[in-house]
Amino acid sequence: MIEMKKRKRIALVAHDNKKPDLLEWVRYNRALLAEHELYATGTTGNLLEESLGTEIIKLQSGPLGGDQQIGAKIAEGQIDFVIFFWDPLEPQPHDPDVKALLRIAVVWNIPVACNRASADFMISSSLMSSEYERLLPDYAGYRDWLQKRSDA
């Protein structure tokens, strides 16, 4: 298990066509989000920081590796959940990175909101303001299998 503290570490990501939606959502939820540690990919982080006047930990832009940086932080236990306003109608040049980010979130049992409605439900949960024991999948069998393959 990994303990999520009351102060959550939240990754905020948005494709270009969804940045205005994310900005509006973040402004609406400014007071609640200010109580947490916010991470964002490059361009989104700059926009959020300007709009909110609060510090955002900014990573690379998505196409330059920001999605993968968030994925790495998830694997290292440094992100508690992801708000990712993605555009399902617009092809993305870094689509494999987006899929990898969503996959790693599922692998490590990280809550993910991909639209405003799911983000609203997630942050209005009673778990948002309390500690939470996030269960980690047991990958011991998989790791043993990998070790046996590499030993062969």
pLDDT in tens, the chain (152 residues): 788 999 999 999 998 899 999 999 999 999 999 999 999 988 889 999 988 888 999 999 888 888 899 999 999 999 999 999 988 877 666 678 888 999 999 999 999 999 999 999 999 999 998 999 998 888 777 777 778 878 87
Residue 32 C-beta-side C-alpha neighbours within 13 Å: 17
- Which of 14, 11, 62, 19 lies closest to 37 in space, CA to CA? 11
Instruction: Give me the pLDDT at residue 109, please.
Output: 95
Residue 58 contacts by C-beta under 8 Å, 6 or more apart in sequence? 39, 40, 41, 42, 45, 46, 49
Length of the chain: 152
CB-CB contact of 113 with 26 (8 Å): no
Which residues are part of the catalytic machinery? Answer: 67
CB 42 within 8 A of CB 67: no
**Token pair 């689509």: residue:** 95
Residue-level pLDDT at 93: 65
Strand-pair partners of 128: none
Residue 91: predicted pLDDT: 67
Q: Which pLDDT belongs to residue 1?
A: 79
Q: What pLDDT sits at residue 62?
A: 81
Amino acid 79: pLDDT = 97
- Report the pLDDT value the prediction gives residue 127, as an integer from 0 to 100: 92
